[in-house]
Amino acid sequence: MIRLVLLSAAALALTAPAAGAKPASAPASPVLARIIADYDALERRFHPDIAAQDGDREALSRLEDDSPAALALLRCGLEGVRARLEALPPSDPLSEDAVNRGYLAFQLGTELTGLALDTARINFDAYSGFHLRPQELGRQTHIRDRADADAYLQRLAALPHFYDVEIGNARRGIASGFTQPAPTVQVVLAIARKQAAIPAADDGLMAPLNDLPPSIPPGEQARLKAEGLRRVQAFKSSETALVAFLERDYAPHARASLAARDLPGGEAYYRAQVAEHTTTDLTPDQIHQIGLDEVKRIRAAMEAEIEASGFKGDFKAFQAFLRTDPRFYVTSRQALLEKSALFAKTVDDKLPHEFGRLPRLPFAVREIPRESEESATTAYYEPGSPALGVAGGYEVNTSHLDQRPLYEIPSLSLHESQPGHHLQIALQQERTDLPAFRRHGGLTAFVEGWALYSEQLGDEMGLYRTPYERFGHLSYEMWRACRLVADTGIHWLRWSREEARACFTDNTALAPKNIEVELDRYISWPGQALGYKIGELKIMQLRRRAEAALGARFDVRAFHDAVLLDGPVPLDLLERRIDAWIAARKSTG
């Protein structure tokens, strides 16, 4: 999973070109090129955090503005861009212009739908949200010179207003009945209390100022740190105010139902979330059935691995064995990090056999911050920035060590680092010849579908060494299949938490703690978890199609490059691109 706090999938697609980057290849249509340029400019204006990742100095001094007035201006601008795009004459279906138009139309539709539904009213969930923005700001800011330091101080000064705006949005949610359910509020409240209790001097927001470059004179460093501490101290009152707001105002109005369908306009809202995260027109009922079919298929494969292990007992007994035998667990946080790092490095040895192009940007293996680890998933990926000199991050949850089994490390590492999230995202960041909105796309079905497909590649690369690791791999695949069942079950079929939990407890080796954290996530973030399996199934379908069509001429390295190097696209556009690639390979064979 990718950790991108507060940013929607639509917003993730928009960044300014990196400093010194090659100019993007111009569309054949000058009118389309102008539309794309205007779209990028509009989004850089309203999403400074994305532009800042590419080194935009002005953007580094601002925080995003989700106030109703700002969102109204954004909506007006996006509607104008969409009208211009729809007025263009048709493009050649196989041209780059068609890809640009199709993707841009999807992005515009997704973002405008969200604005029309006023989804800013729900601005936090059990996994992400505005309350985690300061934490991420401190982790991801790297000060290189005085200008960076001044920009960071401006962001610190803007945090109280940022919180005021977001609390105001949540108040609109209360007034309209568009709120998170009670369990989600308690998860977020626990994090908010921890953050508010941290002394200003020890707050993660001070980390960038405690690591200033030697080019800044000592006296100036002392002044910058003192000013930063003053601004962090001022912001602490905003964190305290958030705790009070959640306790006194939000929690009493949290919705009783877990189902997004029960929100005002909930059916339209959930359908929009499904469409955004799967990039398909599949209905919730169709996705639920796909999930049931996948559960049945994967369960049969898991039974075969139990037999291969020589274990004497049924599925439930094998689950208990995996969850309790000490051989599968470490006893220190550092040991878990070291095991994860060693496996990630082992993967590097296999990558040239599978990919024609590999990224230059490295990644680090890091701990998930301890103030948020209790509600965090097992691991996630934080994108780096070539322009800002920031490595990608494979972030590992080192809490509850008795529920972090070693047999899960291969699949987890393949998904979050390479060839999963880091390889895919770093490659697309380096495609500076693509339009910015494609180069920085963050479509769940493509990005998470690729990462889940990468877990499958571990088997091809010989990285699952024992029946336990192969079972762990299948358990992870089952986890994503159960997501299709549970997410649609909760939000469309109005299942209880217990009904949703059953798929995971009955069919996976996931630890109880992980299952509960995951259920909190699905309840509070409707539709997002659907993109993984839907995307993976499409990529697997396209690979099988290519293998059948090309036979001995199929080259897995070329196929992977064909999938990745154009950046994320909606699944229908991916299918069109791969079909064109297959036809081109056949014609040159």
Nearest Cα to 198, choosing from 134, 287, 130, 291?
A: 134
Q: Give percent of the chain with pLDDT exceeding 90.
A: 83
546-571 pLDDT tens trace: 999 999 999 999 999 999 998 999 99
Residue 281 in this model has a pLDDT that exceeds 70 = yes
Structure tokens at 23: 């100019």
pLDDT of residue 388: 78
Q: CB 257: neighbour CB atoms within 10 A?
A: 14
pLDDT of residue 10: 32
pLDDT of residue 21: 34
Confidence of residue 6 (pLDDT cuts 50, 70, 90): very low
Structure tokens at 306: 């139990």
62-80 pLDDT tens trace: 999 999 999 999 999 999 9
Q: CB 564: neighbour CB atoms within 10 A?
A: 22
Contacts 24+ apart (CB under 8 A), 29-35: 29/88, 29/91, 29/97, 31/84, 31/88, 32/85, 32/88, 32/91, 32/97, 32/100, 32/101, 35/81, 35/84, 35/85, 35/88, 35/104
366-407 pLDDT tens trace: 999 888 898 888 999 999 988 878 899 999 999 999 999 999
Q: Give percent of the chain with pLDDT exceeding 70.
A: 95
Is the preceding peptide bond at 419 cis, omega within 30 degrees of 0?
yes
Phi, then psi, of 364 in degrees rounded to 5: -110, 155
Give the residue ranges of DSSP H helices in 87-181: 96-117, 133-140, 146-176
Angle at 521 between CA 516 and CA 523, to 5 degrees: 95
Least confident of 16-25, 171-180, 291-300: 16-25
Dist. CA 574–CA 566, nearest whole Å = 9
Dist. CA 448–CA 421, nearest whole Å = 8
Dist. CA 397–CA 342, nearest whole Å = 16
Identify the sign of the CA torsion 27, 28, 32, 33: positive
Average pLDDT, the chain: 92
Dist. CA 525–CA 270, nearest whole Å = 10
Question: How many helices (H) and strands (E) would you count in the chain?
Answer: 23, 3
Average pLDDT over residues 139-167: 95
pLDDT of residue 25: 52
Residue 170 in this model has a pLDDT that exceeds 60 = yes
Nearest Cα to 491, choosing from 522, 470, 519?
A: 522
DSSP annotation of 255 reads B
Q: CB 348: neighbour CB atoms within 10 A?
A: 12
Q: Distance between alpha carbon 275 and the CA centroid of its chain, in Å? A: 16
Least confident of 44-53, 239-248, 496-505: 44-53
Residue 439 in this model has a pLDDT that exceeds 90 = no
pLDDT of residue 315: 96
Q: Which residues pair with 385 in a beta bridge?
A: 390
Residue 8 in this model has a pLDDT that exceeds 60 = no
96-115 pLDDT tens trace: 899 999 999 999 999 999 99
pLDDT of residue 15: 33
pLDDT of residue 284: 98
| Cα Rg of the chain (Å, integer) | 23
Least confident of 328-337, 407-416, 438-447: 438-447
pLDDT of residue 3: 57
Residue 531 in this model has a pLDDT that exceeds 70 = yes
- Which helix (H) or strand (E) segment holds residue 379: the answer is strand 379-382
pLDDT of residue 587: 87
What pTM does this model have? 0.90
Confidence of residue 240 (pLDDT cuts 50, 70, 90): very high
In three-state secondary structure terms, 279 is coil
Residue 139 in this model has a pLDDT that exceeds 90 = no
